[in-house]
Amino acid sequence: MKNSLLKIGEMAELNHVSTQTLRLYAKNKLLEPEYLDPETGYRYYTLEQCAKLDLIRALKSCRLSLEQIQEIFSLSSKERLLQALEEQTGVLTDEIYHLSVSRNNLSRVQKNLQILNTLPPFGQVFFEYVPERKIDVQKTEFDFFALGQEGYEKMLRHMQNYLYENQLPPSYFINVGTLMEKEYFMRGTYSSHSAFIFVDDLYPEKDSVRTLPQNTYLSIASDKIALEAAYAKQLYEEMERNGMMPCGDYLCEVLTQFPVHQAKQLIYKIQVPVQRIHGGEQ
């Protein structure tokens, strides 16, 4: 009989698993040895048991726990088995969604870090073409220009709470900013009560989501929050010198705010979509 059986080491090698894994499956009564030699204590498996081992490994690769697999094996109802598999499909679908969102947002951060190497000197106005983007804008009771750094942090907490309350992936919070409506920018009475996050095609449909069309932007980058109002004025003056007007709202996009030397290094870019003034009319 022993000639037709596989020792635990042979079973492990044949199926590219460890002997520890086989012992764990036996302990959890998922795949017990077909024969235990009472004299030597050796465990023996049959070649036919490889099919069940294949199934265990396939289910494990689908992120089911050993307890869930054991439950599936013990189910006597096809309907209950189908329900268990459907539940796991839902779990995997949710995980794939969150992982995809995280990947997209990490790619955005990587792109921002690459942009840092190509930015003109801080405080220098420059033109740039920006492809279409989507943002989720949330109004807050705080005014960045009135409260400065404190206002900015409070606006961020508001946005963070919004994500939490709506059960949205926190990785969207990686790339945030503030928005000032075009009218305030044009009048020079700077006021910003809105925070925004960049979103992707995986983001749920919401009334607060806006599409920013592709456009040429007039921009300035800086690492000094206290200088934003002065830079906004500089941006406006440069826009007038070039015979242009804004065709959208003013954005302050935070490119990075990673801690450096135990302090937060915040680098932002203020930007306004612009167009030429035709016939001297705005």
What pLDDT digit, counting tens, does each position of 143-184 carry? Answer: 999 998 898 889 999 999 999 999 999 999 888 899 999 999
Q: pLDDT tens for residues 220-269?
A: 999 998 999 999 999 999 999 999 999 999 999 998 876 654 555 789 99
- pTM (two decimals): 0.76
Question: If we measure between CA atoms, which residue out of 132, 141, 145, 146 comes closest to residue 161?
Answer: 141
**With bands split at pLDDT 50, 70 and 90, how would you rate the model's confidence at 79?**
confident
Where in 76-169 does DSSP place strands (E)? 126-130, 133-139
Residue 282: predicted pLDDT: 45
Distance, CA of 84 to CA of 70 (rounded, Å): 12
Q: Is the pLDDT of residue 43 over 50?
A: yes
Distance, CA of 213 to CA of 221 (rounded, Å): 21
Residue 71: predicted pLDDT: 86
Within 10 angstroms of residue 140's Cβ, the number of other Cβ atoms is 19
Distance, CA of 53 to CA of 47 (rounded, Å): 10
Cβ atoms of 191 and 168 closer than 8 Å: no
